[in-house]
Each structure stands twice: as structure tokens, then as C-alpha cells.
Structure 1
């Protein structure tokens, strides 16, 4: 049984958490995030500690989810989030043109992707992509969209993958 919802969140210096109705806003050195939270779960802020409580056990999952979402918002405005991807394959390369990411990954045409608001793209080399921002959800979603352009295949291992991702290889056909 998970007890994540009962853990307290410590708000670091320089971060302010304000509640306006169902919306909670977190402001920090890297930016500001706002999210709507369920009114059934009660948030209590005492100094630098934030805790959540639920009325009964029918809100167990929502209790832990709300606590995790607020913690992700606090970490995002203080440290930020980064997803690293790498391109594996002969001739596969990425480049940044202005605010667009241009991928050459084996198609007859280059694939252009526009980064959503609040997300920055960095291309340290032509086979590496760093997606960074303050919202864990937006950074992860955009990294997943980049990966979906050419997801890694199991026979040769070619494609776009996360840096720490392991691609399980399969054996090809055997001849007679």
C-alpha cells in the first residue's frame, strides 16, 4: 500500500505556493506553474511544509497523485527537468534551426518539430538531443513525440531512444 499522499513537501527558499480556489500556483527562480487540483483533497501549508489529507478512503489514488503533482511542480521551478535522447543509425542526425528541431532519420524528407511553449531544445552533437523545461509533463510528452518519429527497432537497434533506454535485440531470420 502506497503512502505517498501522507508525505510532506518541503518548500525551498525562493519558492512560493499559493492556492486560489481549486488552482495551485507555484512560483520559483525558473518560472511559474499553475494547475487545477481536486477540491476533495485538502492542502495545508504550515511554514515551509505542505501536507495533503483526504476525507475518506475513496480518494486514495487522488491523494497520492495530487501530492506527487505538486512535488513535481516545486522541483520543476527550482531545478527543472531534462530528457536526453540519442539517434542511432547510419546517417541519422538532428539539428536545430531557430526554434525548430529538424530530424533526418531515414525518411525521404526531413522531419521538422516545433517545441511547445516553455520547452527548450539543445543539440550538443548531431546525434544527441536535450529537451528541458520546468513542467515534467510537457518535457516528457515532447520527448516522447520526438522518439515516436522513429522509435528504436529490435533487429538493428536503429531509431531515436532515450539515453538510459535499453533496446532488447532480436535475432533475425535464419537461412536454409
Structure 2
């Protein structure tokens, strides 16, 4: 069996601007206990998803108290867009919403890469031409970054904005986080 890496699954914590206006902005993962969170229920175990954060070069898992629970990513994202709370998702699931500002990332310094997506195939010998062509195409596109974001929307926040907060602790930044 051959396994070739294609894409890192980096998680981002985010919410709609309306949520932050009503509830403030968490500064650390520990602040989540004072926030409304949206979470996934895992289909196989029925457990709630444990959010991942990188703290001191290790990945720490936190299962926040959830005010809204769904078992499907689109439902979690829709609840987040409606301002129901904070949620965590792979960054490539929410690229468009991050770019258009309908969702805003927080806790960016704590982002964690939890999985790598691999292209797996039985071996290099005796592959049908169409399978070999698909593998070559997929790997080439991956190396070109076609499966990655054109840019990291969370880093765009640092490049384009004034990071000062209003005098109220946890208030929204004076300028939008994403433009």
C-alpha cells in the first residue's frame, strides 16, 4: 500500500460578527467556557467532538459545552452563520465565508493541524493507465497547492487589520478581521 500526503486538515475556531458583537471575543481556549458553542455529534460513538488547539507545541483537546449540536458540517456552519455561537471546522470548509467576512476566525495562535489527507493506492506495479493518470494528476495538483487555500484567511487577518480592541475587554476589533 502506498500513501501520499495531499492536504493538511487545519482547524479554525470562528463565529459570525454578530455573535462577537453580542458576546465578545475569546482570547484563549479556556475562555470557551464563558461562550456559546456549536458542536458536532460523532455518528459512530454519539460523543461530542473534542476541539483541538495547539498549546505549547502540543495539541490539546477541549470539549466545550455546546448550546447547539448537529451531526452534519453544513448544519454547524449554518448555525455559526446565524450567530448562534462559536464553532470549529477545517479551514478549507469555510474558506469562502472567511474571505467574505460572514465568519471571523478567533484563537488563531492556537490553530491545530489534526489530520493529513492521503491518497492511498495498492502499489506502483500493474496499475491501470487511467488510475496511474489520476494519481499523477492528483499529486501534481497537490504539489502546486491547488488543494490548498489560495492564501490563509486567518493570516490575512494579521496582514490587513489593526489589531487594537475597543476599551471593553473582548470587544470586536475596530476594523474588520477579514476584508
TM-score by length of 1: 0.23
Larger Rg: 1
Between Structure 1 and Structure 2, the one with more strand by share is: 1
TM-score by length of 2: 0.22
